[in-house]
Structure 1
Amino acid sequence: MREDLCSQLLPAGRATLRRGVAVAMVVGLLSAGRASEVQAPSAAAPAPAAPPLVIGLGQPLSPADIDRYAITVFPNGRNLPPGRGSVEQGARLYAMHCAACHGAQGIEGPAARLVGTDGFIGWSDPLRPLRVRKYPLQVLSVGAMWPYATTVFDYVRRGMPMHAPKSLTDDEVYGITAHLLHLNGLVAGDALMDKEKLPQVVMPGRDRTVSAWPQER
Protein backbone atom coordinates (compact mmCIF):
# COMPACT_ATOMS: atom_id res chain seq x y z
CA MET A 1 0.00 0.00 0.00
CA ARG A 2 2.90 2.35 0.75
CA GLU A 3 4.37 1.73 -2.68
CA ASP A 4 1.03 2.55 -4.29
CA LEU A 5 0.79 5.83 -2.29
CA CYS A 6 4.35 6.85 -3.16
CA SER A 7 3.79 6.08 -6.79
CA GLN A 8 0.75 8.37 -6.73
CA LEU A 9 2.38 11.27 -4.81
CA LEU A 10 5.79 11.29 -6.56
CA PRO A 11 4.59 12.53 -9.96
CA ALA A 12 2.45 15.21 -8.30
CA GLY A 13 5.38 16.34 -6.14
CA ARG A 14 7.70 16.53 -9.08
CA ALA A 15 5.19 18.63 -11.02
CA THR A 16 4.76 20.99 -8.07
CA LEU A 17 8.52 21.32 -7.71
CA ARG A 18 8.92 22.09 -11.39
CA ARG A 19 6.24 24.80 -11.17
CA GLY A 20 7.91 26.32 -8.09
CA VAL A 21 11.31 26.46 -9.79
CA ALA A 22 9.79 28.05 -12.88
CA VAL A 23 8.03 30.72 -10.81
CA ALA A 24 11.25 31.47 -8.88
CA MET A 25 13.20 31.88 -12.11
CA VAL A 26 10.61 34.28 -13.53
CA VAL A 27 10.59 36.35 -10.32
CA GLY A 28 14.39 36.45 -10.31
CA LEU A 29 14.56 37.63 -13.92
CA LEU A 30 11.99 40.35 -13.26
CA SER A 31 13.85 41.55 -10.16
CA ALA A 32 17.17 41.64 -12.02
CA GLY A 33 15.61 43.68 -14.80
CA ARG A 34 14.20 46.22 -12.39
CA ALA A 35 17.55 46.54 -10.56
CA SER A 36 19.37 47.13 -13.83
CA GLU A 37 16.90 49.88 -14.70
CA VAL A 38 17.56 51.62 -11.36
CA GLN A 39 21.35 51.23 -11.47
CA ALA A 40 21.86 52.14 -15.12
CA PRO A 41 19.45 54.85 -16.32
CA SER A 42 18.72 54.86 -19.98
CA ALA A 43 20.65 57.18 -22.27
CA ALA A 44 17.48 59.12 -22.94
CA ALA A 45 17.11 60.16 -19.24
CA PRO A 46 17.94 63.87 -18.67
CA ALA A 47 21.19 64.71 -16.89
CA PRO A 48 20.90 66.23 -13.38
CA ALA A 49 20.70 70.02 -13.38
CA ALA A 50 23.88 71.90 -12.48
CA PRO A 51 23.76 73.87 -9.20
CA PRO A 52 22.89 77.55 -9.64
CA LEU A 53 25.79 80.03 -9.71
CA VAL A 54 23.91 82.37 -7.33
CA ILE A 55 22.60 80.71 -4.20
CA GLY A 56 20.01 83.39 -3.52
CA LEU A 57 21.49 85.02 -0.40
CA GLY A 58 21.80 88.79 -0.16
CA GLN A 59 20.91 91.35 -2.78
CA PRO A 60 23.00 92.31 -5.83
CA LEU A 61 24.37 95.85 -5.71
CA SER A 62 24.69 98.14 -8.66
CA PRO A 63 27.95 100.04 -9.27
CA ALA A 64 26.20 103.21 -8.07
CA ASP A 65 25.29 101.53 -4.77
CA ILE A 66 28.85 100.28 -4.28
CA ASP A 67 30.31 103.72 -4.95
CA ARG A 68 28.39 105.09 -1.97
CA TYR A 69 30.42 102.89 0.38
CA ALA A 70 33.74 102.59 -1.47
CA ILE A 71 35.07 105.84 -0.01
CA THR A 72 38.39 104.69 1.43
CA VAL A 73 41.17 107.20 0.73
CA PHE A 74 44.58 105.56 0.37
CA PRO A 75 47.86 107.04 1.66
CA ASN A 76 49.03 107.99 -1.83
CA GLY A 77 45.84 109.99 -2.45
CA ARG A 78 43.96 107.43 -4.50
CA ASN A 79 40.20 107.87 -4.15
CA LEU A 80 40.35 111.45 -2.93
CA PRO A 81 37.21 113.23 -4.17
CA PRO A 82 37.07 116.47 -6.15
CA GLY A 83 36.79 119.66 -4.15
CA ARG A 84 38.96 122.03 -2.12
CA GLY A 85 39.10 123.77 1.22
CA SER A 86 41.19 126.52 2.79
CA VAL A 87 42.73 126.90 6.23
CA GLU A 88 40.50 129.91 6.90
CA GLN A 89 37.37 128.01 5.95
CA GLY A 90 38.49 125.05 8.07
CA ALA A 91 39.04 127.23 11.14
CA ARG A 92 35.40 128.33 11.09
CA LEU A 93 34.17 124.78 10.59
CA TYR A 94 36.46 123.45 13.31
CA ALA A 95 35.03 125.92 15.83
CA MET A 96 31.52 124.79 14.92
CA HIS A 97 31.96 121.02 14.76
CA CYS A 98 35.21 119.98 16.47
CA ALA A 99 36.28 122.33 19.27
CA ALA A 100 33.71 121.03 21.77
CA CYS A 101 35.51 117.66 21.91
CA HIS A 102 39.09 118.47 20.90
CA GLY A 103 39.51 121.97 22.31
CA ALA A 104 39.91 125.35 20.65
CA GLN A 105 43.55 124.66 19.74
CA GLY A 106 43.24 120.92 19.29
CA ILE A 107 45.12 120.16 22.51
CA GLU A 108 42.61 120.70 25.31
CA GLY A 109 40.51 117.54 24.91
CA PRO A 110 38.80 115.63 26.35
CA ALA A 111 38.94 113.75 23.03
CA ALA A 112 42.21 112.83 21.29
CA ARG A 113 44.80 115.58 20.97
CA LEU A 114 45.10 116.71 17.36
CA VAL A 115 48.09 119.03 17.60
CA GLY A 116 51.64 118.78 18.88
CA THR A 117 54.02 115.96 19.72
CA ASP A 118 53.33 112.73 21.57
CA GLY A 119 54.24 112.13 25.18
CA PHE A 120 53.49 113.17 28.72
CA ILE A 121 55.53 116.38 28.63
CA GLY A 122 55.69 119.01 25.89
CA TRP A 123 57.97 122.02 26.32
CA SER A 124 55.63 124.19 24.27
CA ASP A 125 52.63 122.97 26.28
CA PRO A 126 53.37 123.20 30.05
CA LEU A 127 49.85 122.13 31.08
CA ARG A 128 49.98 118.88 29.13
CA PRO A 129 50.77 116.67 32.18
CA LEU A 130 47.60 117.86 33.88
CA ARG A 131 45.45 117.07 30.84
CA VAL A 132 47.10 113.70 30.24
CA ARG A 133 46.54 112.77 33.86
CA LYS A 134 42.85 113.59 33.52
CA TYR A 135 42.42 112.26 29.97
CA PRO A 136 45.05 109.56 29.24
CA LEU A 137 44.13 109.60 25.57
CA GLN A 138 45.83 112.97 25.37
CA VAL A 139 49.26 111.34 25.54
CA LEU A 140 49.08 110.65 21.80
CA SER A 141 48.69 113.32 19.16
CA VAL A 142 47.18 112.89 15.70
CA GLY A 143 49.63 115.46 14.35
CA ALA A 144 52.64 113.48 15.54
CA MET A 145 51.41 109.90 15.24
CA TRP A 146 49.48 109.70 11.98
CA PRO A 147 51.79 109.11 9.01
CA TYR A 148 49.66 110.44 6.13
CA ALA A 149 47.62 113.61 5.66
CA THR A 150 45.18 111.71 3.46
CA THR A 151 44.26 109.55 6.46
CA VAL A 152 43.21 112.68 8.35
CA PHE A 153 40.85 113.53 5.50
CA ASP A 154 39.50 109.96 5.37
CA TYR A 155 38.82 109.81 9.10
CA VAL A 156 37.17 113.24 9.31
CA ARG A 157 34.92 112.49 6.34
CA ARG A 158 34.04 109.01 7.58
CA GLY A 159 33.50 109.55 11.31
CA MET A 160 33.30 113.23 12.24
CA PRO A 161 31.69 115.07 13.84
CA MET A 162 30.89 112.35 16.32
CA HIS A 163 27.22 113.29 16.64
CA ALA A 164 26.69 113.44 12.85
CA PRO A 165 29.29 111.41 10.90
CA LYS A 166 29.35 111.81 7.11
CA SER A 167 27.38 115.04 7.36
CA LEU A 168 30.25 117.24 6.09
CA THR A 169 30.70 117.96 2.41
CA ASP A 170 33.98 117.11 0.71
CA ASP A 171 34.88 120.82 0.55
CA GLU A 172 34.28 121.13 4.30
CA VAL A 173 36.44 118.10 5.02
CA TYR A 174 39.24 119.56 2.92
CA GLY A 175 38.94 122.79 4.89
CA ILE A 176 39.05 121.12 8.32
CA THR A 177 41.99 118.98 7.22
CA ALA A 178 43.83 122.08 6.03
CA HIS A 179 43.19 123.78 9.38
CA LEU A 180 44.52 120.80 11.35
CA LEU A 181 47.63 120.66 9.20
CA HIS A 182 48.15 124.38 9.78
CA LEU A 183 47.77 123.99 13.57
CA ASN A 184 50.55 121.39 13.38
CA GLY A 185 52.77 123.80 11.44
CA LEU A 186 52.74 121.67 8.29
CA VAL A 187 51.09 124.11 5.86
CA ALA A 188 50.88 127.90 5.65
CA GLY A 189 47.91 129.93 6.82
CA ASP A 190 46.78 130.60 3.26
CA ALA A 191 47.07 126.99 2.12
CA LEU A 192 44.37 125.43 -0.03
CA MET A 193 43.99 121.65 0.07
CA ASP A 194 42.64 119.49 -2.75
CA LYS A 195 43.22 116.02 -4.19
CA GLU A 196 46.52 117.08 -5.73
CA LYS A 197 48.08 119.01 -2.83
CA LEU A 198 46.97 116.95 0.15
CA PRO A 199 49.05 113.83 -0.67
CA GLN A 200 52.16 116.02 -0.94
CA VAL A 201 52.05 117.03 2.74
CA VAL A 202 54.72 115.16 4.70
CA MET A 203 53.52 114.21 8.17
CA PRO A 204 55.93 113.86 11.12
CA GLY A 205 54.63 110.37 11.82
CA ARG A 206 55.67 109.01 8.43
CA ASP A 207 59.18 108.17 9.61
CA ARG A 208 57.71 106.21 12.50
CA THR A 209 55.91 103.74 10.25
CA VAL A 210 57.32 100.36 9.26
CA SER A 211 57.29 101.21 5.57
CA ALA A 212 56.38 104.28 3.57
CA TRP A 213 53.50 104.08 1.09
CA PRO A 214 54.60 104.90 -2.49
CA GLN A 215 53.73 108.42 -3.44
CA GLU A 216 53.07 107.78 -7.12
CA ARG A 217 49.47 107.06 -8.06
Structure 2
Amino acid sequence: MSRSARSCVVAGAFLFAFIGAGTAETVKLGRPALPEEIKAWDIDVRPDGLGLPEGKGSVSQGEALFQSNCAACHGEFGEGAGRWPVLAGGQGTLKSERPEKTIGSFWPNTSTVYDYVHRAMPFGAAQTLQPDEVYAIVAYLLYLNDVVPDDYVLSKENFPTVQLPNEANFYDDDRETTEKAFWNANPCMKQCKPKVEITSHAAVLDVTPDAGKDGDKPTGGVE
Protein backbone atom coordinates (compact mmCIF):
# COMPACT_ATOMS: atom_id res chain seq x y z
CA MET A 1 0.00 0.00 0.00
CA SER A 2 1.39 3.40 -0.95
CA ARG A 3 1.99 6.12 1.61
CA SER A 4 -0.84 8.24 0.16
CA ALA A 5 -3.27 5.30 0.23
CA ARG A 6 -2.33 4.47 3.81
CA SER A 7 -2.92 8.12 4.75
CA CYS A 8 -6.39 8.02 3.21
CA VAL A 9 -7.29 4.88 5.16
CA VAL A 10 -6.13 6.42 8.43
CA ALA A 11 -7.98 9.68 7.72
CA GLY A 12 -11.15 7.74 6.85
CA ALA A 13 -10.96 5.73 10.06
CA PHE A 14 -10.50 8.90 12.11
CA LEU A 15 -13.45 10.61 10.38
CA PHE A 16 -15.68 7.58 10.99
CA ALA A 17 -14.74 7.53 14.67
CA PHE A 18 -15.40 11.27 14.94
CA ILE A 19 -18.84 11.01 13.31
CA GLY A 20 -19.72 8.06 15.52
CA ALA A 21 -18.79 10.02 18.62
CA GLY A 22 -20.89 12.97 17.46
CA THR A 23 -24.03 10.86 17.16
CA ALA A 24 -23.76 9.65 20.74
CA GLU A 25 -25.68 11.34 23.54
CA THR A 26 -22.61 13.17 24.84
CA VAL A 27 -19.31 14.01 23.20
CA LYS A 28 -17.50 13.65 26.54
CA LEU A 29 -15.09 16.50 25.82
CA GLY A 30 -13.99 18.91 28.52
CA ARG A 31 -15.66 19.29 31.91
CA PRO A 32 -18.11 21.63 33.64
CA ALA A 33 -16.58 24.99 34.53
CA LEU A 34 -15.69 25.40 38.18
CA PRO A 35 -17.41 28.19 40.17
CA GLU A 36 -14.12 30.07 40.56
CA GLU A 37 -13.50 29.86 36.79
CA ILE A 38 -16.93 31.29 36.04
CA LYS A 39 -16.36 34.04 38.60
CA ALA A 40 -13.09 35.01 36.91
CA TRP A 41 -14.93 35.68 33.64
CA ASP A 42 -18.13 37.13 35.11
CA ILE A 43 -16.75 40.62 35.79
CA ASP A 44 -19.17 42.91 33.94
CA VAL A 45 -20.88 45.71 35.85
CA ARG A 46 -24.38 47.05 35.11
CA PRO A 47 -25.48 50.69 35.48
CA ASP A 48 -27.53 49.75 38.54
CA GLY A 49 -24.38 48.41 40.24
CA LEU A 50 -25.06 44.71 39.74
CA GLY A 51 -21.72 42.92 39.47
CA LEU A 52 -19.78 45.36 41.63
CA PRO A 53 -17.48 43.90 44.29
CA GLU A 54 -17.38 45.16 47.85
CA GLY A 55 -15.07 48.11 48.26
CA LYS A 56 -14.59 51.84 48.21
CA GLY A 57 -12.04 54.46 47.20
CA SER A 58 -11.60 58.22 47.58
CA VAL A 59 -10.66 60.90 45.08
CA SER A 60 -7.36 61.55 46.86
CA GLN A 61 -6.46 57.86 46.82
CA GLY A 62 -7.41 57.68 43.17
CA GLU A 63 -5.17 60.61 42.28
CA ALA A 64 -2.09 58.83 43.61
CA LEU A 65 -3.04 55.58 41.86
CA PHE A 66 -3.80 57.41 38.61
CA GLN A 67 -0.41 59.13 38.57
CA SER A 68 1.44 55.83 39.02
CA ASN A 69 -0.71 53.65 36.75
CA CYS A 70 -2.48 55.83 34.19
CA ALA A 71 -0.88 59.27 33.74
CA ALA A 72 1.88 58.04 31.42
CA CYS A 73 -0.75 57.53 28.72
CA HIS A 74 -3.71 59.66 29.79
CA GLY A 75 -1.87 62.67 31.24
CA GLU A 76 -1.81 63.84 34.85
CA PHE A 77 -5.28 65.35 34.59
CA GLY A 78 -6.84 63.04 32.00
CA GLU A 79 -5.92 65.38 29.16
CA GLY A 80 -4.23 62.60 27.18
CA ALA A 81 -0.56 62.16 26.36
CA GLY A 82 0.34 62.14 22.68
CA ARG A 83 -2.48 60.34 20.89
CA TRP A 84 -3.61 58.32 23.92
CA PRO A 85 -7.30 58.81 24.82
CA VAL A 86 -8.43 61.99 26.57
CA LEU A 87 -10.54 61.15 29.64
CA ALA A 88 -11.60 64.54 31.00
CA GLY A 89 -13.11 67.73 29.61
CA GLY A 90 -14.87 68.05 26.26
CA GLN A 91 -18.22 69.18 27.62
CA GLY A 92 -20.25 70.94 24.94
CA THR A 93 -18.16 69.66 22.01
CA LEU A 94 -20.26 66.73 20.80
CA LYS A 95 -22.01 68.79 18.12
CA SER A 96 -18.84 70.48 16.97
CA GLU A 97 -16.69 69.52 13.99
CA ARG A 98 -14.18 67.81 16.28
CA PRO A 99 -16.04 66.40 19.28
CA GLU A 100 -14.07 65.37 22.36
CA LYS A 101 -15.64 62.13 23.57
CA THR A 102 -14.56 61.87 27.19
CA ILE A 103 -16.07 60.41 30.35
CA GLY A 104 -17.63 63.76 31.20
CA SER A 105 -18.84 64.70 27.74
CA PHE A 106 -19.91 61.43 26.14
CA TRP A 107 -19.74 58.23 28.20
CA PRO A 108 -23.18 56.95 29.29
CA ASN A 109 -22.76 55.43 32.74
CA THR A 110 -20.32 55.22 35.64
CA SER A 111 -20.46 51.44 35.23
CA THR A 112 -18.81 51.87 31.82
CA VAL A 113 -15.86 53.54 33.53
CA TYR A 114 -15.55 50.98 36.32
CA ASP A 115 -15.97 48.01 33.98
CA TYR A 116 -13.33 49.23 31.54
CA VAL A 117 -10.76 50.21 34.17
CA HIS A 118 -11.24 46.87 35.92
CA ARG A 119 -11.26 44.81 32.73
CA ALA A 120 -8.53 46.39 30.64
CA MET A 121 -6.37 48.76 32.67
CA PRO A 122 -3.56 49.51 33.32
CA PHE A 123 -2.38 48.97 29.77
CA GLY A 124 -0.23 45.86 29.71
CA ALA A 125 -1.25 44.82 33.22
CA ALA A 126 -5.01 44.39 32.94
CA GLN A 127 -6.96 43.15 35.99
CA THR A 128 -4.07 43.65 38.39
CA LEU A 129 -5.88 46.42 40.31
CA GLN A 130 -7.77 45.51 43.47
CA PRO A 131 -11.45 46.59 43.82
CA ASP A 132 -10.60 49.43 46.23
CA GLU A 133 -8.03 50.73 43.75
CA VAL A 134 -10.53 50.65 40.89
CA TYR A 135 -13.11 52.50 42.99
CA ALA A 136 -10.49 55.14 43.84
CA ILE A 137 -9.36 55.64 40.22
CA VAL A 138 -12.97 55.93 39.04
CA ALA A 139 -13.65 58.45 41.82
CA TYR A 140 -10.68 60.53 40.63
CA LEU A 141 -11.87 60.37 37.02
CA LEU A 142 -15.33 61.53 38.12
CA TYR A 143 -13.69 64.42 39.97
CA LEU A 144 -11.64 65.41 36.89
CA ASN A 145 -14.92 65.63 34.98
CA ASP A 146 -16.61 67.78 37.65
CA VAL A 147 -19.09 65.04 38.55
CA VAL A 148 -18.11 64.68 42.23
CA PRO A 149 -16.29 66.93 44.76
CA ASP A 150 -12.67 66.44 45.79
CA ASP A 151 -13.60 64.78 49.12
CA TYR A 152 -15.86 62.17 47.50
CA VAL A 153 -15.59 58.48 48.36
CA LEU A 154 -17.03 56.09 45.77
CA SER A 155 -18.38 52.76 47.06
CA LYS A 156 -20.62 49.90 46.07
CA GLU A 157 -23.46 51.51 48.04
CA ASN A 158 -23.44 54.97 46.44
CA PHE A 159 -22.29 53.85 42.98
CA PRO A 160 -25.80 53.70 41.41
CA THR A 161 -26.52 57.30 42.43
CA VAL A 162 -23.68 58.77 40.33
CA GLN A 163 -24.89 60.02 36.94
CA LEU A 164 -22.68 61.13 34.09
CA PRO A 165 -23.66 64.33 32.24
CA ASN A 166 -24.50 62.67 28.91
CA GLU A 167 -26.47 59.71 30.28
CA ALA A 168 -29.85 61.07 29.19
CA ASN A 169 -28.77 61.21 25.53
CA PHE A 170 -28.34 57.42 25.28
CA TYR A 171 -31.39 55.33 24.39
CA ASP A 172 -32.26 51.84 23.23
CA ASP A 173 -31.69 51.06 19.56
CA ASP A 174 -35.02 51.94 17.93
CA ARG A 175 -34.05 51.72 14.25
CA GLU A 176 -36.42 48.83 13.63
CA THR A 177 -39.35 51.16 14.24
CA THR A 178 -38.03 54.63 13.42
CA GLU A 179 -36.09 53.77 10.26
CA LYS A 180 -37.85 50.72 8.90
CA ALA A 181 -39.82 52.83 6.42
CA PHE A 182 -36.53 53.83 4.75
CA TRP A 183 -35.22 50.28 4.38
CA ASN A 184 -34.90 49.08 0.80
CA ALA A 185 -35.56 45.43 0.07
CA ASN A 186 -33.54 45.75 -3.16
CA PRO A 187 -30.56 48.01 -2.40
CA CYS A 188 -28.47 49.32 -5.26
CA MET A 189 -25.16 47.47 -5.47
CA LYS A 190 -23.45 49.00 -8.53
CA GLN A 191 -23.55 52.12 -10.73
CA CYS A 192 -25.83 53.78 -8.19
CA LYS A 193 -24.49 57.29 -8.89
CA PRO A 194 -23.13 58.88 -12.05
CA LYS A 195 -19.93 59.73 -10.16
CA VAL A 196 -18.37 59.40 -6.72
CA GLU A 197 -17.70 62.61 -4.80
CA ILE A 198 -15.42 63.04 -1.78
CA THR A 199 -17.36 64.89 0.90
CA SER A 200 -14.82 64.82 3.72
CA HIS A 201 -11.15 64.23 4.38
CA ALA A 202 -9.50 62.22 7.12
CA ALA A 203 -7.45 65.29 8.04
CA VAL A 204 -10.59 66.75 9.62
CA LEU A 205 -10.46 63.90 12.14
CA ASP A 206 -6.75 64.51 12.73
CA VAL A 207 -5.74 61.04 11.52
CA THR A 208 -3.90 62.08 8.35
CA PRO A 209 -0.15 62.61 8.91
CA ASP A 210 1.31 65.95 7.90
CA ALA A 211 3.22 66.22 4.62
CA GLY A 212 6.93 65.53 4.84
CA LYS A 213 9.58 68.22 4.80
CA ASP A 214 10.22 67.58 1.10
CA GLY A 215 6.58 67.99 0.20
CA ASP A 216 5.79 64.28 0.15
CA LYS A 217 2.15 63.39 0.20
CA PRO A 218 0.62 62.09 3.45
CA THR A 219 0.72 58.35 3.82
CA GLY A 220 -2.84 58.06 5.13
CA GLY A 221 -6.29 59.56 4.74
CA VAL A 222 -8.44 60.33 1.72
CA GLU A 223 -6.93 61.99 -1.32
Listed as ranges, the matches of 1:1-217 within 5 Å are: 52-109=24-81, 110-117=83-90, 119=93, 139-211=100-172
Contact 2:106 2:166 in 1 (8 A): yes
TM-score normalized with structure 2 length = 0.61
Give the direction of change, closer, same or farther, for the CA distance of 1:121–1:78 in structure 2 (3 Å limit): closer
Return 5+ residue gaps in structure 2 as ranges. 1-22, 173-223
Contact 1:85 1:194 in 2 (8 A): yes
Deviations 1:66-99 (A, max 9, x none): 1111111111110100011000000000000111
SS of 1:58's equivalent?
coil
Structure 1 consecutive aligned stretches of length 4 or more whose deviation exceeds 4 Å:
none
Return 5+ residue gaps in structure 1 as ranges. 1-50, 123-128, 133-137, 212-217
TM-score normalized with structure 1 length = 0.63
| Distance (whole Å) between structure 2 residues aligned to residue 184 and residue 176 of structure 1 | 13
| Distance (whole Å) between structure 2 residues aligned to residue 90 and residue 73 of structure 1 | 19
TM-fit CA distance, 1:162? 0.5
Counterpart code for 2:27: I
RMSD, aligned CA: 2.6
| Distance (whole Å) between structure 2 residues aligned to residue 59 and residue 111 of structure 1 | 42
Identity %: 39
Deviations 1:15-60 (A, max 9, x none): xxxxxxxxxxxxxxxxxxxxxxxxxxxxxxxxxxxx6543223332
Give the direction of change, closer, same or farther, for the CA distance of 1:208–1:121 in structure 2 (3 Å limit): closer
SS of 1:139's equivalent?
coil
| Distance (whole Å) between structure 1 residues aligned to residue 89 and residue 63 of structure 2 | 17
Counterpart code for 2:40: R
Contact 2:58 2:140 in 1 (8 A): yes
| Distance (whole Å) between structure 2 residues aligned to residue 90 and residue 53 of structure 1 | 54
Counterpart code for 1:159: A
Contact 2:103 2:145 in 1 (8 A): no
Counterpart code for 2:85: A
SS of 2:104's equivalent?
helix
SS of 2:126's equivalent?
coil
